[in-house]
Amino acid sequence: MILRFLPHSPFVRKVLVSAHETGQAGDLEIEEAHVFDPSTPLLAENPLGKVPALVRDDGSVLYDSTVICEWLDSRAGSERLYPPAGEARWRALRRNALGDGLGQAATWNIRERYRPDGERSDRYMASYDRAIGRTLAALESETGAPPATGEPIDIGDISIACALSYIDFRYPDLDWRAAHPALGAWTDALFARPSFEATPLGPYEGPLQPAA
């Protein structure tokens, strides 16, 4: 299987962490795909031109991190990351949506900052900042004790932790742990898991703007 990859993407990291948690990391061949490169094979595989995209052994392609993670979970032969039907599943999926939305607000904010002079919108960046702040506050209010070493985690936990790792990576001056200590302790406990230690975010060195 080929995973179209970018080193700084929290959504790619979500897939990689899930692969480690389900014992399938060794099955993935990682290939970098610059989404603004018109020659990338990604554009033929995912019409949205987004990573992650997973090219399966039969040539079919899955995209969207939540879809790929659920497929990996089903392939593992057990419901490790996606609980069965019931309240636990709805909680995991709700938290997955919170994590994905947090990651999206943070990435869109950074992308806005990369726009050329005269095209950036302070109004949009302020809106993304408020969304990030509200989400951090909501997560702090529902965060319990950090998971014990080896304790199972679900897709919601992974999504949230990967989004927070992106905030750490892209917003090093945002001391969010000071205002959200429970969330900080919970996040750092997840970061200590082998699946997170093996999948750090890295710098992006591709084109920053779409082709003309």
What are the tens digits of pLDDT across the range 180-196?
A: 999 999 999 999 999 99
What mean pLDDT is reported for the chain? 93
Q: What is the mean pLDDT of residues 158-166?
A: 98
Rounded Cα distance between 96 and 18, Å, is 13
pLDDT confidence band for 174 (50 / 70 / 90): very high
Q: Domains plus CATH for the chain?
A: 2-75 (3.40.30.10), 87-194 (1.20.1050.10)
Which residues, 6 or more positions from 104, have their beta carbon under 8 angstroms from its beta carbon?
none
Q: How far is CA 84 from CA 19, 45, 130, in A?
A: 19, 30, 34
